[in-house]
Structure 1
Amino acid sequence: MKKIILYSTWVLLLISSCKKGFLDLAPLSDTNTVNFYRTPEDMLNAVNAAYASLRASGQYGAALYAVGEVASDNTEILDAQAGIDISQIDAFTTLTNNGMLNTMWNDHYKGILACNAVIDRIPAVAMNETLKARYIAECLFLRSLMYFNMVRTFGDVPLVTKEIVDVQEGYGFARSPQASIYEQLIKDLEQAASVLPNDYGTADKGRATAGAARGLLAKIYLTLQNWQEAANQTKAVMDLGVYQLMPTYEAVFAIANKNNAESLFEVQYKKGGYGLGSPFNNAFSPRLSGQIVSTIGAGGGQNTPTADIANLYEANDQRRAVSIADGYQNGSQFVAIRYIKKYLDPALFAANDADNNWPVLRYADILLVRAEALNELGYAPDGEAFTLLNRIRERAGLAALSSTELPDQESFRKTLAHERRVELAFENHRWFDLVRTGRAVEVMRATGKSIQDHQLLFPIPQVQIDINPDVITQNPGY
């Protein structure tokens, strides 16, 4: 019988913890779930496994930059050898058998089930109740993040909030309406935010915090165009007094500054031959560049910055040099193929084994979300929204803007969209920003892409429908 992760029994992949702390991640190992979930140490390993699922290729390892960036006007695929699945996404010729989207579906549900296993089994474990509540809250945050990415990509998806231990039980989960999923995420994140700490000691840096939960809530409310709640949640993050902008844009992405003062949440990677290193150094280096850019291993030619975004930066915007290179020097020849610089590791351990984390939520994003929400609630000349926008611009080395340059709500709205694009470039926000603001079709057609209205959502992987055709249906147009 064919099975997928949602409908089958599964073996939980675990990251064993160690006394050196959360970031000192040990190699993956298989564990027999029958004899597991018995001790506090077992539960710590299970929670760490849920975090580890974010690194999968169907999550932040590859699929999310394909959907969040390659589908947008930020990046493109110049060489079909970079992969047929991601090339389809770039060209809006995505088929229902696209392997990257099927991997995205499976890897997200694998992570969701890892979270559910902790939430369902931890009540029976004898351990400190405060720590028990924190582990549940961490998994509620992680599960919410995964569902947020799924619902924005596929629309209605099966909402599974308990551990599936019987194959047949899994066949009963149909696609849930987006509204129901968002309702669940808001409930879960409110619970998580009320329990999670504002910060951790060094050993646990990188775990979900109250600020991360509030930040994700703000992004959800922004997507739902609930401007007041988006403003409320960003204010709650700011009032924590935990976060601040790093002094320079370059410092945000320096490997030595992982989990810095601007970071609400990052996907954790660790190089060193453990299978835990990040692949972006190689994936984003140009194909056929040898080791000139990547330093070790070949370039993948994925996520290539478009001319559109390369030309978008204002003069003297310090963010461009940190984010984009216009090419590389091959002996006496300059090869003019752009590539992303944000995730380069000059001292990676091996091919696809770099130390760069992936930024999921940054304080700069929170400030821009608040500025957008406030402007949508009502344009205020030189009000707080201007102050927030200008904090981002001034950090980038640009002049502040006033109501003289932005005299109305629409002009502020357009400038805010520009700032989001260049500030958060190549961090998986652009496509979702275009969709939620209703601009995706217009913007992508202007780039020459033949996008249709139904392609704002991606197709449900056909294999998922074939396995459970009675309850899993395809998105319209595919």
Structure 2
Amino acid sequence: MKNYKTRFILVVSIFSILSCSKDFIELSSISEASSEDFYKTSSDFENAVTACYDALQSNDLYGQAFDRLIAIRADDAVDDNSSSSTRAADVDKFQESSTNRFVNNAWRGSYIGISRCNIVISRIDGASIDASLKNQLKAEAQFVRALIYFNAVRMWGEVPLITKEQTVLETNQQIQDKTLIRNSIADVYTSIIQDLTFAQQNLPLSNSIGKATSGAAKSLLGKVYLTQGNYSSAQAILSEVIGKYDLLTSFGAVFDVANKNNKEIIFAVAYNKNLANEGHSAWYNNGNFVLIPQTLLDSYDANDARLSLVETSENQDGFIMPGKFFDEQSQNQFGNDFPVLRYSDVLLMSAEALNEIGYVADGEAFDLLNKVRNRAGLSSYTSSDLVNRQEFRDAVLWERKLELALEYDRWFDLLRTGTAITEMAKVGLTITNDDLLFPIPQSEIEIINNPSGFPQNPSY
């Protein structure tokens, strides 16, 4: 996916630039052509959109940082490195500082990705290319931007909302004028919803591997609405996805590296280990001290088909990793895609939304939940098992823990349902509301120097 680099303009995150210097850096392409000359043809914009997806691939986001942040923050992965030099173990214990390497990387990677998307979105309307292709490429950039902002607002709360291409000089002026601020959570969600609404209307039903579709945009929009507690809107958009995908008979086949882009995958960050620099390091492997805790393994029924996918085994090079992300190396890298949205996730979200709208004994919500359970080899729930809304709510959260383990959903599910403090206590961690957000990187706090408009999160 990084082949665009032979032509793509060197785009650096505003925030990354500011961390090094406040001086203006002229951006130019590797071929020395100006950026104004570059963004002309459909091929130019296709390459630029590829760069948006490439930001998701990077070690700053799905390639590495997220398994050290979002995964081990929850109770489905731990970092047992006792060395004082480790930074992931600090995240695991809710002891990270505002200089934590992985926090800084995720922030930087987020705004690099946002910057790339903004270039496409700001320039493509003026391009003389086919209108339908123009809308599709713009929609792809808006999907990626929405995904990045959705992760960011859940990780940091209020974040700078930058939706237009801007130069470093313009950003410097905003800093001087104190107008570069952390925008409200409500404003960030408004932008996310606008992006995904356009995306679901203009993306195709199918697309190349690793690229967004209308189903992906609708699924992500449903998750956004669910996170906001807007259950009616969540159910309405998710209902448009149900029936368009399917559960594989074998749970293990969903994650088989030889079975990518199967009918259960709605959107995944794509990797290719057979191309140089197109793969990733091993996720959840013993060499990085990231382990699967016994508490997660004990959560599964012995007959649950999903248990073997979180159990670990050793590959031929000595990497010990869970079945979901088991792979053999090629060119010193791994090639699993990372599943951001799966059909089972949609079924469980829809079940949750229906239950929140109104508990119905043995109704549609039960059917959706049971589809996921039955595929795992478990018996169906009835209203005799789950007698009211709260019991059904608890059952869905538990099922999501088992079904989506290690897929970066658990921590966000605990935040969304207000259960993070309680669930962390069950694994021996005492946390407060201040621990629910990550710190803003200290470098950004110091550069922007605006305590009222750009404050640090509490307790950091």
Residue in 1 aligned with 2:191?
184
Q: Distance in 1 between matches of 2:360 and 2:247?
A: 24
Q: Give the superposition deviation at 1:416.
A: 1.0
Q: Give the superposition deviation at 1:278.
A: 2.2
Within the alignment, does 1:198 sit opposite 2:205 as a pair?
yes
Residue in 2 aligned with 1:454?
434
Contact 1:160–1:173 under 8 Å retained in 2: no
Contact 2:28–2:34 under 8 Å retained in 1: no
- Residue by residue, what CA displacement relative to the aligned partner does 1:354-411 show, whole Å, maximum 9, x if unpaired? 1110000011000000001111111111111110011001111111111111122222
> Secondary structure of 1:342's match?
helix
Q: Structure 1 residues 356 and 3, CA, compared in 2 at 3 Å: closer, same or farther?
A: closer
Q: Distance in 1 between matches of 2:84 and 2:53?
A: 28
Contact 1:269–1:277 under 8 Å retained in 2: yes
> Secondary structure of 2:16's match?
coil
Q: Distance in 1 between matches of 2:115 and 2:285?
A: 34
Within the alignment, does 1:395 sit opposite 2:375 as a pair?
yes
Within the alignment, does 1:218 sit opposite 2:222 as a pair?
yes
Out of 306, 331, 335, the position equivalent to 1:350 is: 331
TM-score (norm 2): 0.89
Out of 304, 312, 315, the position equivalent to 2:302 is: 315
Q: Distance in 1 between matches of 2:398 and 2:80?
A: 24
Q: Give the superposition deviation at 1:4.
A: 3.0
Within the alignment, does 1:433 sit opposite 2:413 as a pair?
yes
Q: Give the superposition deviation at 1:166.
A: 3.5
Q: Structure 1 residues 213 and 329, CA, compared in 2 at 3 Å: closer, same or farther?
A: closer
Q: Give the superposition deviation at 1:80.
A: 3.5
Q: Give the superposition deviation at 1:155.
A: 0.1
Q: Distance in 2 between matches of 1:140 and 1:85?
A: 32
Out of 455, 458, 464, the position equivalent to 2:444 is: 464
TM-score (norm 1): 0.86
Range 33-42 or range 209-218, more displaced: 33-42
Q: Distance in 1 between matches of 2:254 and 2:60?
A: 25
Residue in 2 aligned with 1:152?
154
Q: Structure 1 residues 31 and 399, CA, compared in 2 at 3 Å: closer, same or farther?
A: farther
Q: Distance in 2 between matches of 1:395 and 1:48?
A: 35
Q: Structure 1 residues 83 and 390, CA, compared in 2 at 3 Å: closer, same or farther?
A: farther
Unaligned runs of 5+ in 1: 15-27, 287-298
Contact 1:75–1:305 under 8 Å retained in 2: yes
Within the alignment, does 1:300 sit opposite 2:288 as a pair?
yes
Contact 1:323–1:341 under 8 Å retained in 2: yes
Q: Give the superposition deviation at 1:279.
A: 1.5
Q: Structure 1 residues 307 and 29, CA, compared in 2 at 3 Å: closer, same or farther?
A: farther
Residue in 2 aligned with 1:418?
398
Between the two proteins, what is the percent identity of the paired residues?
37
Aligned residue type for 1:312: S
Q: Distance in 2 between matches of 1:61 and 1:329?
A: 20
Residue in 2 aligned with 1:384?
364
Aligned length: 436
Q: Distance in 2 between matches of 1:29 and 1:378?
A: 59
Range 115-124 or range 5-14, more displaced: 5-14
Contact 1:82–1:301 under 8 Å retained in 2: no
Range 441-450 or range 76-85, more displaced: 76-85
Q: Structure 1 residues 87 and 10, CA, compared in 2 at 3 Å: closer, same or farther?
A: farther
> Secondary structure of 2:267's match?
strand
Contact 1:6–1:110 under 8 Å retained in 2: no
Q: Give the superposition deviation at 1:257.
A: 1.6
Q: Distance in 1 between matches of 2:79 and 2:38?
A: 44
Q: Give the superposition deviation at 1:315.
A: 2.2
Contact 2:315–2:326 under 8 Å retained in 1: no
Q: Distance in 2 between matches of 1:339 and 1:37?
A: 42
Residue in 2 aligned with 1:250?
252
- Residue by residue, what CA displacement relative to the aligned partner does 1:220-274 show, whole Å, maximum 9, x if unpaired? 1111111111111110112xx4311112101110112211111111001011242
Map of 1:10-159 to 2, 5 A cutoff?
A: 33-80=35-82, 84-159=86-161
Q: Distance in 2 between matches of 1:158 and 1:247?
A: 43
Q: Distance in 2 between matches of 1:191 and 1:229?
A: 16
